[in-house]
Structure 1
Amino acid sequence: DVALKNFARYFLHQSQEEKEHAEKLMKLQNQPCGQIFLQDIKKPDHDDWEGLNAMECVLHLEKSVNQSLLELHKLNDSHLCDFTDTHYLNKQVKSIKELGDYITNLHKMGALEFGLAE
């Protein structure tokens, strides 16, 4: 049983989408002359999440990913630029906007102060 079913559904969908993005990027890196450097993914500092806090954390992560994609874009590799434009940048901006809207709505509904909207 999940306490926050809509949040759970949202995060499950997002995790599947992020997995697909990672697989596409690894496929690109695995092409001739490409290299993959895998790094550890650190566990979050805490396990006890409220809906609003989780959304704010995800927004921070999405902004970080977007900045990393923009840094890749600055390399001016035409194939890489086309790849990031086609598969990532527009989706990142849309996701950041969507998360910002959700967070705004949760604040308006009093999620933090009253534990509502979750």
Structure 2
Amino acid sequence: MSSYFAQDDVSLPGLAAYYKVASDEEREHAIKFINYQIKRGGKVQIECIRAPPTNNWENALKSLEVSLALEKRKSDSHLTKYLEDEFLEEQVQAIKELGDYVTQIKRAGPQGIGRIFI
């Protein structure tokens, strides 16, 4: 998503920066999960991550709605304590932030007046 919004024909650098930070954060989470698995004596098996369903996010609102849906994913009950300790507050903040952005863009209307990421 970051690279899409950084393209010269889209040019929403604030949104590109937001998604870059989010991507870096998710990578840090993956490393924490790897370290957690190793601590528990498990074997880390890296598999391919599916590409997003599209490379054309159409507009800021659509991308934020997709991001919000991904942030609301369900958790694994076996990792509940670990997830709560490591990620819950951050997850709640991400859901709030994305929800606010969706609301603000909807409020701005189809012309995008007052976009928050410019």
| TM-score (norm: length of structure 1) | 0.78
1:51 is the counterpart of 2:60: yes
Q: CA deviation at 1:115?
A: 4.0
User: Once superposed, what is the RMSD of the aligned Cα atoms?
Assistant: 1.9
Aligned residue in 2 for 1:102: 101
1:23 is the counterpart of 2:31: yes
Alpha-carbon distance in structure 2 between the residues aligned to 1:48 and 1:32: 40
Alpha-carbon distance in structure 1 between the residues aligned to 2:47 and 2:99: 28
Q: CA deviation at 1:48?
A: 1.2
8 A Cα contact 2:68 2:99, kept in partner: yes
Match of 1:96, SS state, is helix
1:38-117 aligned within 5 A: 38-49=46-57, 50-64=59-73, 67-68=74-75, 71=76, 74-75=77-78, 80-110=79-109, 113-116=110-113, 117=115
Alpha-carbon distance in structure 2 between the residues aligned to 1:39 and 1:109: 40
1:35 is the counterpart of 2:43: yes
Alpha-carbon distance in structure 2 between the residues aligned to 1:37 and 1:115: 43
Whose helix fraction is larger, Structure 1's or Structure 2's? Answer: 1
Alpha-carbon distance in structure 2 between the residues aligned to 1:107 and 1:92: 23
Alpha-carbon distance in structure 1 between the residues aligned to 2:28 and 2:88: 15
More displaced stretch, 92-101 vs 33-42: 33-42
Aligned residue in 2 for 1:5: 13
Gaps of 5+ in 2: 1-5
Q: How many residues align?
A: 106
Q: CA deviation at 1:82?
A: 4.1
